[in-house]
Chains A and B, each alone.
Chain A
Amino acid sequence: DGGITQSPKYLFRKEGQNVTLSCEQNLNHDAMYWYRQDPGQGLRLIYYSQIVNDFQKGDIAEGYSVSREKKESFPLTVTSAQKNPTAFYLCASSGTTPFAFSNQPQHFGDGTRLSIL
Chain B
Amino acid sequence: AQKVTQAQTEISVVEKEDVTLDCVYETRDTTYYLFWYKQPPSGELVFLIRRNSFDEQNEISGRYSWNFQKSTSSFNFTITASQVVDSAVYFCALSDETSGYSTLTFGKGTMLLVSP
Binding site for B on A (CB under 8 A): 31, 33, 35, 40-45, 48, 50, 58, 88, 90, 92, 94, 96-111, 113
Once A88-B43, A111-B43 are accepted as A-B contacts, the answer to whether A45 and B103 lie under 8 Å apart by CB is: yes
> Do B95 and A103 touch across chains, with their CB atoms under 8 A apart?
yes
CA distance A23 to B70 in the complex (A): 36
Q: Which residue of chain B has its CB nearest to the CB of A38?
A: B108
Q: Interface residues of B toward A: which range?
A: 20 to 34
Give chain B's interface secondary structure class: loop
Instruction: State whether A31 touches B52 (Cβ < 8 A).
Output: no
- Judging by beta carbons under 8 Å apart, are A31 and B50 in contact? no
Residues of B14-70 whose CB lies within 8 A of A: 31, 33, 35, 37, 42-47, 50, 52
Q: Which residues of B contact A (CB under 8 A)?
A: 4, 6, 9, 31, 33, 35, 37, 42-47, 50, 52, 91, 95, 97-104, 106-109
Which residue of chain A lies nearest to B52 when distances are taken between CB atoms in the complex?
A: A101
CB of B44 within 8 A of CB of A109, answer yes
With A90-B45, A106-B47 already in contact, the answer to whether A31 and B97 are too (CB < 8 A) is no
Considering only CB atoms, which chain A residue lies closest to B6 in the complex? Answer: A42
User: How far is B79's CA from A34's CA once the two chains are assembled, in angstroms?
Assistant: 29
State A93–B59 Cα separation when bound (angstroms): 25
Distance to closest chain B CB from A102 (angstroms):
7
Give the one of A102, A106, A113 with max B CB within 10 A: A106
- Which residues of chain B are within 8 angstroms of A105 by Cβ–Cβ distance? 35, 47, 50, 102
Shortest distance from the beta carbon of A37 to any chain B beta carbon, whole Å: 9
CB distance B109 to A96 under 8 Å?
Answer: no
Interchain CB contact under 8 A, B45 and A108: yes
Find A110's partner among B6, B44, B52, B109 (CB 8 Å cutoff). B44
Residues of A within 8 A of B37 (CB): 108
| Shortest CB distance A59–B (Å) | 9
Give 12 new A-B contacts, CB below 8 A, not counting A43-B91, A108-B45, A110-B42.
A35-B106, A42-B108, A48-B103, A88-B43, A92-B45, A96-B101, A98-B100, A103-B101, A105-B47, A108-B37, A110-B43, A113-B43
